[in-house]
Amino acid sequence: MKGTMRGVVKTAAGEGHLEIKELPIPQIGPNDILVKVHAAAICGTDQHIRDWHPWAQKRMTPPATIGHEFSGEVVEIGDAVTSVKVGDRVSSESHIACNTCQTCRAGHRHVCPNTRIVGVNHPGGGGFAEYVSIPEEIAFVYNDESMPWEQLALMEPFGVVVHGVMASQVAAKTVAIIGAGPLGAMGVLAAKAAGAARVIVVEPNEARAQASLARGADYIVDPVKTDPVQVMKELTDGIGPHVAIDFSGSIPGLTAAVQYLRPEGLLTSVAHPSKPFTFDLTEFAYKGCSIKGIAGRKMYETWEDIRGLLQGGIDLSSIISHELPLEKFAEGMGYMDRGESCKVILHP
């Protein structure tokens, strides 16, 4: 497809430098598809790019179109594409693995050391644009038209959540969810859908805490007004939860979790703190506890878990708090900066 489009571009290195620009529509190769974007969600990674955090500095070479959480309609396919057709409704995996390294060949493409990322260093552009080109293999086709574009745009972050929940084997367990921001909010829904016996949410923001109860959480722990270790023990007959899943990256939250986990408990790290934290590994080890790190989504097992949860009726509508035109991306990031939003959706 020829022509131009609008997109949000990181125009230069350094803090800021995000602008709406007129760009050429990405051209596709034989194994690619062109997607007309209907909805895109703002992620914390997009804020890291705006603020030029070290993570972005290591991976990006501006100018680059950003955005990696999106949904849209396939409008063009490459000559070698066989599993996707024009007109399909798709979301997308954001990671593009090399498929040739030892890690990929061992079945661990989600942690491929050569990964490229849509909206970061992928030459096909990003989702904060009217069109984006992606490889056929990372398209998640979901043609159920009862799923709104806005919710379909959440599949990438929802996949991170589902990966964390499924890896934690929460069925019939007491589960602590640390943080009730967008990921933690989806974590409550996913844990309940996966059969968790009780979900205890650790969250100081009153609005987010109350929203968690509406989503099915059984208890709320305010870690500012109370001692979360003491309260967690009180809620679990003195022994602690089976699993703690961190969606906050909070060092105090993680520090408390390693103390209140029951013997043989599991700490799952979905969000990641911005700096190292220390804890008593000896005590943790003597309890027989474990830590599991989560990176993205298993490719592509997690996507099929997502499909099953969607078909089972999980409802993500409450995760969306704001919808804005693409031109107001900065306003949307502002809501996120101030903790006034859950997921913010942009419409190109």
How many other β-carbons are positioned within 10 Å of the β-carbon of residue 6?
16
Domain 160-293 falls under CATH 3.30.230.10: no
Return the pLDDT at 127: 98
Q: What is the CATH number of domain 4-154+316-347?
A: 3.90.180.10
* Topology alike, domains 4-154+316-347 and 160-293: no
Two structure tokens written together for 199: 């979900």
**200-209 burial by CB neighbour count: b if 16+ within 10 A, else e?**
bbbbbbeebb
* pLDDT digits 0-9 by tens, 42-88: 999 999 999 999 999 999 999 999 999 999 999 999 999 999 999 99
271: nearest Cα among 289, 304, 244, 298: 244
> pLDDT class for 275, splitting at 50, 70, 90?
confident
45: nearest Cα among 300, 272, 206, 197: 272
Question: Any idea which residues carry the catalytic annotation?
Answer: 45, 48
Report how far residue 77's alpha carbon sits from residue 88's, in angstroms, rounded to the nearest whole number: 11
The residue-averaged pLDDT of 91-102 equals 98
**Owner of token pair 């490459």:** 78
**Owner of token pair 């027989």:** 288
Q: How far is CA 294 from CA 21, 123, 244, 272, 301, in A?
A: 34, 26, 13, 9, 14
Domain ranges of the chain: 4-154+316-347, 160-293
The whole-chain average pLDDT of the chain stands at 97
Return the pLDDT at 101: 98
- 199 and 217 Cβ atoms separated by less than 8 Å: yes
Report how far residue 269's alpha carbon sits from residue 166's, in angstroms, rounded to the nearest whole number: 13
**Residues 6+ positions from 193 with CB-CB distance below 8 Å:** 309, 312, 314
pTM: 0.96
**Owner of token pair 């592509």:** 300
- 134 and 124 Cβ atoms separated by less than 8 Å: yes
- The identity of residue 187, as a single letter, is G
